[in-house]
Structure 1
């Protein structure tokens, strides 16, 4: 029965996601509202999963896929902005929102209010990045938002673990809130990094892309489970494992990287759709349980609006005031590393505070019982408050963000020139490696036919030297003869391997920006796949 209910929820959520995308609506908002409406259907049975299932099954793959999609070098370049938004602002938001929640909801103690504050403190950048990318938001702003979303998830969920452990009275391996927080963070990072490195070593000895992908899929769940068993932060373990593996993914075979991108995209769509629909379906039952404990819907709504206002205003004040201070320090200097933004960019960043899947998953993951077996106090109230805050930010900020971006017209000529230069350098690195491979192939040629074959490949390479800046027609260039075609494919795969190695070296030594390199590396994977599966060289 439970499996059937889960499948129906997932299928319905996917259908609504498709419909929302076609209508240009926010899929998370549609799913949450539709789920809440359906929950009031008379006679509908309650679908409820154990809290630890949401945290241990839903969050690890979502966080891991976000980590593997984010460049470590980009993180390092923008670490000041990312740390400010993803760590410091999360702590400030938790403290301020916790105080506001304790004041606005008289029956909540401060520890319970801090649990709620930790749940609602991390913004979800998925919607903001999707909107911003479509409307031409500067790339360095998008990268900062991605990095913030990744780091603030880890910081907020670590705070969530600490605050819930304090409320439940669970015995911790280290006494004291601050030492325990430090322990969970440090051990979690070490566990994740070690497991990521171990999986890389195992995968480096495997040639089968399917098996290699299976190891990658199991890694986030394993990292989370091992870290939690050691009473460390499973979330930080997942993030560290993702970074450890993604930094070495360029050494995997191309088919593995393509397969993993598809797997994480599919899992992301399924899990995010499920979480929004799932918590929406709980609304009627949460309100009923809260009423049994003496809470009235009107009270919860008023408290939710107070918490929502605190969530929005804290981010606005922190980002805008911090931007003013930074501009006073940097005196208008522009930085491609993302350490300095203009007032209009600060306003967009300040307004991208939509709460999403992590907030809802954490709310669903609030423990059902305390350490002594008694029910977790006001658990339903906290979940209702978190749900209203998430939906409120999507309505208030998510719905108005596209108009704000259009009105501000955030075109940054300096960034465009910088990105153009980085892409030019990346192309030069790739083309230079091609010439070296072709020169070596000519030297190895033992006959005039082989030399002509290499020259033919070189001519094709010259036509595509701009790497698809202009379309090229290869229809009249087909190489005849099975042996000649096989040799041409081998030379071109050798060229792709050399290009990939040269681009990675250029990225690691800082010659070319990681984002410019990443675009070409993804295209090289597709080119190599075309060579292997269709036998029609593209490069």
Structure 2
């Protein structure tokens, strides 16, 4: 199995690389390729281990998404995110469960609610991967990202309660409420404690490689500790990620650059692996349904898929407009959003690997030893919901954004904010340089360094204001961009000379690496200021 999983990872990364190279939708293509590969004769069967998904794949993806999220933006949209991340999964659990109970023969209500909880949460991986590619506006990404980060905890708690009822374990509504409170509060506390400790340790170490190594272990350790005390591992990882992400600015530039590169590489690997793994599950699920009427199964799957999509719209429109209609305070703070934006949020409810992992975690038997009712059908219906939402909603989202359209003026606003902040920072630097120069006598060589630094500060300010005045139609080269282009060419010349010196045996590889590292940082700065 280990070798098979390694092969899946290699294939997934190769397909993902091709998709990125040709700007193709990697999540959708990976799922489609997985569906095809699964039917090739002789292909090893790749089962989905729920423990592997929940303890190995999910934590680092959630942690990375939380670090990239804005705490201020989530806090500013906490009411809307709460309605999406807490109330909507519970509503989806009940609504989808009732549809499945009515549609699927022999499915008890408790087992139907298990299915509802399994397919309730839109997936963090799906929303972030597709949303980044199609360029959704920041507020929509904030809502979808905040929802995806937190709704897993709601849905998985509902799943535990419904599963306990389905297998015959004693439970009650009060037990479910207590379980949810313990999971939520415990997850927040554990996430905060670990976030504080990890931040302090990393600041104390001042050792970038070790700091990054510790950062890699945080999501796994946080999830494990939380789950061991029956708290929500999802909430704990998200809270720790938000806390650490807010305090990344205190770390050294080397640690931040290294962390960002490592996290993005791991995200690409795991996201590619997850989507290919989803597609590979179909043959296994089809085999378990042998003897069933495929007409009835297809009808049931269609009804459940439609229920998952429709209930989201039935919830989102009232949740968006009714609070604003009845509360002047909310209306003044949060103006009515564009209908097209609300529709996109409703349509962006793709499900993912968390739903499949929860479905595969359903036990084979109940407490009495009887087979779990209609388990193969539940797994297949979950697969149809996951793949259906990915392929139907995922493929049409870019088209919808172009047709509606869903646009914003974030670029111009961001440029203005950056230019204003850069202007203030530059003026503070110039005051400091004036103080340095006042203490240096005429003729002192250090005055030359002050002059060079003054030019550098001025260049930073000019770049910000130049970019503010440039729109998509401005394709000409600004003065600062011309200077940066020439600087980049000089840096490339230096790099070529250093490599030639190494090849000729006049400097050692260690000397070359030191020189290239310095040039890399200089090139990164020049490339960034080039606009």
Q: How does 1:128-207 map to 2 (within 5 A)?
A: 137-168=136-167, 176-207=175-206
> Partners in 1 of 2:104 and 2:326 — Cα distance?
40
* Aligned equivalents of 1:273, 1:477: Cα separation in 2: 37
- 8 Å Cα contact 2:82-2:147 kept in structure 1: yes
Which residue does 2:483 correspond to in 1? 473
Tell me the residue number matched to 1:431: 426
2:318 matched residue in structure 1: 321
| Deviation at residue 39 of structure 1 after TM alignment | 2.4
Kindly report which structure 2 residues correspond to 1:64-463, keeping only aligned pairs within 5 A, or say none: 64-124=63-123, 137-168=136-167, 176-291=175-290, 295-326=292-323, 328-329=325-326, 340-367=336-363, 376-412=372-408, 418-443=413-438, 445=440, 448-463=444-459
Check whether the contact 2:49–2:357 (CA below 8 A) recurs between aligned residues.
no
Secondary structure at 2:105 match in 1: coil
* Alpha-carbon spacing, 1:210–1:161, altered in 2? closer, same or farther (3 Å): farther
Once the 2 structures are TM-superposed, how far is the Cα of residue 341 of structure 1 from its aligned partner? 1.0
Query: Within 2, Cα distance between the matches of 1:27 and 1:386?
Result: 21
Give, in whole Å, the separation in 2 of the partners of 1:412 and 1:398: 21
Q: Distance in 2 between matches of 1:440 and 1:368?
A: 75
Contact map agreement 1:82 1:148 (CA 8 A) in 2:
yes
Residues 1:110 and 1:73: Cα distance change in structure 2 (over 3 Å)? same
In structure 2, what is the Cα distance between the partners aligned to 1:177 and 1:409? Answer: 42
Q: Which moves more between the two structures, 361-370 or 107-116?
A: 361-370
Deviation at 1:166, TM superposition (A): 4.5
Q: Provide the rounded CA distance (Å) in 2 between the counterparts of 1:444 and 1:116.
A: 74
- In structure 2, distance between residues paired with 1:52 and 1:344: 39
8 A Cα contact 1:55 1:365, kept in partner? no
Instruction: In structure 1, list runs of 5 or more residues that go unmatched.
Output: 479-528
Structure 1 pair 84/366, CA: closer, same or farther in 2 (3 Å)? same
| Superposition deviation, residue 347 in structure 1 | 1.5
**Structure 2: runs of 5 or more not aligned:** 468-479, 489-515
In structure 2, C-alpha distance between the alignment counterparts of 1:365 and 1:185, rounded to whole Å:
21
Task: Give the deviation of 1:211 after TM superposition.
Answer: 0.7
Range moving further from structure 2, 201-210 or 12-21: 12-21
Q: How far apart are the structure 2 equivalents of 1:462 and 1:55?
A: 50
In structure 2, what is the Cα distance between the partners aligned to 1:530 and 1:8? 34
**2:205 alignment partner, SS class:** coil
Paired residues of 1:67 and 1:242 also in contact (CA < 8 A): yes
Paired residue total: 484
Counterpart-to-counterpart distance in 2, 1:373 and 1:532: 67
Deviation at 1:281, TM superposition (A): 2.1
CA 1:381–1:421 in structure 2 vs 1: closer, same or farther (change >3 Å)? same
Q: What TM-score results when the alignment is normalised by the length of structure 2?
A: 0.81
Deviation of 1:250 after TM superposition, in Å, equals 1.1
* Contact residue 58 and residue 361 of structure 1 kept, 8 A: no
Q: What TM-score, normalized by structure 1, do the two folds share?
A: 0.80
Aligned position for 2:505 = none
Task: Please state how far the C-alpha of 1:441 moved relative to its aligned partner.
Answer: 3.5
Q: Are the equivalent residues in 1 in contact too, given 2:321–2:336 (CA < 8 A)? A: no
- Tell me how far apart the structure 2 counterparts of residues 534 and 239 of structure 1 sit (CA, whole Å): 32
Deviations 1:237-264 (A, max 9, x none): 1111111211211111112222222222
The equivalent of 1:518 in structure 2 is: none
Task: Identify if the C-alpha distance between structure 1 residues 271 and 155 changes in structure 2 by more than 3 Å, giving closer, same or farther.
Answer: same
Alpha-carbon distance in structure 1 between the residues aligned to 2:294 and 2:85: 33
Name the counterpart of 1:487. none
> Cα 1:197–1:68, aligned 2, differ >3 Å: closer, same or farther?
same
The 8 Å contact of residues 323 and 330 in structure 2, kept in 1 or not, is answered as no
Whether contact under 8 Å (1:40, 1:284) holds in the other structure is: yes
Rate the CA distance shift 1:372–1:277 in 2: closer, same or farther, 3 A.
farther
CA 1:252–1:303: 2 relative to 1, 3 Å: same
Determine if contact 2:117/2:158 at 8 Å carries over to the other structure.
yes
Residues 80, 320 of structure 2: 8 Å contact kept = no
- Offset at 1:31? 2.4
Check the 8 A contact 2:157/2:179 in 1, yes or no. no
In structure 1, distance between residues paired with 2:206 and 2:6: 34
State whether residues 77 and 338 of structure 1, in contact with CA within 8 Å, keep that contact through their aligned partners in structure 2.
no
1:306–1:211 Cα change, 3 Å = same
Secondary structure, counterpart of 2:107 in structure 1: coil
Q: Deviations over 1:42-101 (max 9, x none)?
A: 344423354312211111111111101101111111112211222211211111111112
1:443 Cα offset (Å): 4.9
Deviation of 1:215 (Å): 1.0
**Aligned-pair CA distance for 1:171:** 8.6
In 2: Cα distance, 1:346 partner to 1:477 partner: 46
After superposition, the C-alpha distances for 1:393-413 in whole angstroms (9 at most, x for unaligned) are 123222221121111123345
Tell me if structure 1 keeps the 8 A contact 2:154–2:180.
Answer: no
Q: Which secondary structure state, in structure 1, belongs to the residue aligned with residue 122 of structure 2?
A: coil
Give me the CA root mean square deviation. 3.3
**Residues 167 and 227 from structure 1, CA distance in 2 versus in 1: closer, same or farther, beyond 3 angstroms?**
farther
Q: Quick one: distance in 1 between partners of 2:265 and 2:237?
A: 19
